[in-house]
Amino acid sequence: MSDTSGSGDWHRRTLEHRGALFAVLSVAAIAVGSVVELVPMFTVDFEPEELEGISPYTPLEVAGRDIYVREGCYLCHSQWVRPFRSETVRYGEWSRGEEYAYDRPFQLGSRRIGPDLHRVGGKYNNAWHYEHMMDPRSTTPGSIMPTYPWLAEWKVDPADATASVTTLASLGHPYEASVLSDVPAAMRAQADEVVADLAASDITVEHDDEIVALIAYLQRLGRDGRAKIAAAEAAAGGEGSP
């Protein structure tokens, strides 16, 4: 194979043709990227007033979030509304840093095959989410999102959920002692509300079906931040008024 001249050649000859060197440099590049992502997660410390109005996910929402991660929803969905008009018109308020304080690990995502989900909480009712997860084409003609029928069959394991919540509590997420002492009971109380709401739309689910936890999680997304931003804007508006 004869080389042609040009700058693309330099890359091929000096790097790509030297397997060992290329492997070492690739590992170094990936290591730098990993450190840049990991360090803030362990070192960022919020002032207490910054976290006012932002609370950790409830146990049921934590269980739903674990399902979101397991199913790889982040491969198609971001959770990060950027501060551009094109984004805020479509998705709502841009995302603030403190909104991720209790997102471990964060679900920013790096691809948008589907829309951003950071402000999806409250956008649709629970029945819509159920139908959409069972068959996205039923709510959104032409959707390319996969179906997730097993979420209506598989059960949330209370031991797994307890382990997740306990771990988050050990990282400083402020949970009430009463919640920590009986995580399954806290999950049940919130799940019963979702089950009753779905029943009103003639959808029958059990309290421990995975879909219930996932819906609870999706309905929570972006809500604390939105309420906080609205309150801050009202206060700012109030100051200037006569």
* Contacts with ligand HEC, residue ranges (CB under 6 A): 68, 71-73, 75-77, 113-115, 117, 120, 123, 136, 140, 143-146, 148, 214, 218
Alpha carbons 115 and 145: distance in angstroms, whole number: 11
Q: Tell me whether residue 56 or residue 136 sits nearer to ligand HEC (CB atom).
A: 136
CB atoms within 10 A of CB 124: 15
Residue of minimal Cβ distance to ligand HEC: 114
Dig out the tokens for 145 from the structure: 């999102």
Work out how close the CB of 112 gets to ligand HEC at its nearest, in angstroms, rounded to a whole number.
9
Work out how close the CB of 207 gets to ligand HEC at its nearest, in angstroms, rounded to a whole number.
19
CA distances from 150 to 67, 120, 134, 159 (A): 11, 22, 8, 20
The burial class, CB within 10 Å (0-12 / 13-18 / 19+), for 99 is buried
Alpha carbons 232 and 140: distance in angstroms, whole number: 35
Work out how close the CB of 180 gets to ligand HEC at its nearest, in angstroms, rounded to a whole number.
27
Work out how close the CB of 149 gets to ligand HEC at its nearest, in angstroms, rounded to a whole number.
11
Dig out the tokens for 152 from the structure: 């209506």
Work out how close the CB of 148 gets to ligand HEC at its nearest, in angstroms, rounded to a whole number.
5
Work out how close the CB of 80 gets to ligand HEC at its nearest, in angstroms, rounded to a whole number.
14
φ/ψ of 152, rounded to 5, equals -90, -5
Q: Tell me whether residue 117 or residue 205 sits nearer to ligand HEC (CB atom).
A: 117
| Residue pair 160/59 in contact by the 8 Å Cβ criterion | no
Q: Tell me whether residue 60 or residue 175 sits nearer to ligand HEC (CB atom).
A: 60
Structural Rg of the chain based on CA atoms: 22
Q: Tell me whether residue 51 or residue 147 sits nearer to ligand HEC (CB atom).
A: 147
Q: Tell me whether residue 74 or residue 102 sits nearer to ligand HEC (CB atom).
A: 74
Q: Tell me whether residue 165 or residue 216 sits nearer to ligand HEC (CB atom).
A: 216
